[in-house]
Amino acid sequence: MATTYKDSGVDLELYEQAMQKLPSLMHRTFTPRVVRNDGGFAGLYALDFAKSLFARNYEEPILVSGTDGVGTKLQVAQRAGKHDTVGIDLVAMCVNDVLCTGAEPLFFLDYVAMGKDNPPLLEAIVRGISDGCIDAECSLLGGETAIMPSHYHDDMYDLAGFCVGVVDKKRLVSGNAIAAGDVLIGVPSSGLHSNGFSLVRKVVFDKAKLDIDSHVADLGTTVADALLTPTLIYSKVVRSVLSRYKVKSVVHGIAHITGGGLLENTERILPPTVDLEFVRGSWEVLPVFRWLQQLGEIEQHEMEHVFNMGLGLVFAVSPYYADSVQALIRSQGLACSVIGEAVEGTGKSRYRS
The burial of 70, by beta-carbon neighbours within 10 Å (0-12 exposed, 13-18 middle, 19 or more buried), is given as buried
Whether the pTM exceeds 0.85: the reply is yes
**Domain 6-47+56-170, second-level architecture:** 2-Layer Sandwich (3.30)
3 state DSSP class of 78: helix
Residue-level pLDDT, tens digit, the chain, 353 residues = 788 778 788 888 888 887 888 888 999 999 888 898 887 789 899 887 776 767 667 889 999 999 999 999 999 999 999 999 999 999 999 999 999 999 999 999 999 999 998 999 999 999 999 999 999 999 999 999 999 998 888 789 999 999 999 999 999 999 999 999 999 999 999 999 999 999 999 999 999 999 999 999 999 999 999 999 999 999 999 999 999 998 889 999 999 999 899 999 999 999 999 999 999 999 999 999 999 999 999 999 999 999 999 999 999 999 999 999 999 999 999 999 999 999 999 999 999 87
What is residue 11's predicted lDDT score, i.e. its pLDDT? 80
Q: Which tens digits make up the pLDDT trace of 28-85?
A: 999 888 898 887 789 899 887 776 767 667 889 999 999 999 999 999 999 999 999 9
HSE toward the beta carbon, residue 347, CA cutoff 13 A: 7
Neighbours of 271 (CB within 10 A): 16
Q: What b-and-e string marks burial along 242-263, b requiring 16 or more CB atoms within 10 Å of the CB?
A: beebebeebbbbbbbbbbbbbb
Rounded Cα distance, 245 and 151, in Å: 49
Q: Which tens digits make up the pLDDT trace of 97-132?
A: 999 999 999 999 999 999 998 999 999 999 999 999
Superfamily of domain 183-352: PurM-like C-terminal domain (3.90.650.10)
Q: Are 6-47+56-170 and 183-352 equal in CATH topology?
A: no
What is residue 153's predicted lDDT score, i.e. its pLDDT? 86
Percent of the chain with pLDDT over 90: 80
Domain-wise residue ranges, the chain: 6-47+56-170, 183-352
Rounded Cα distance, 133 and 164, in Å: 12
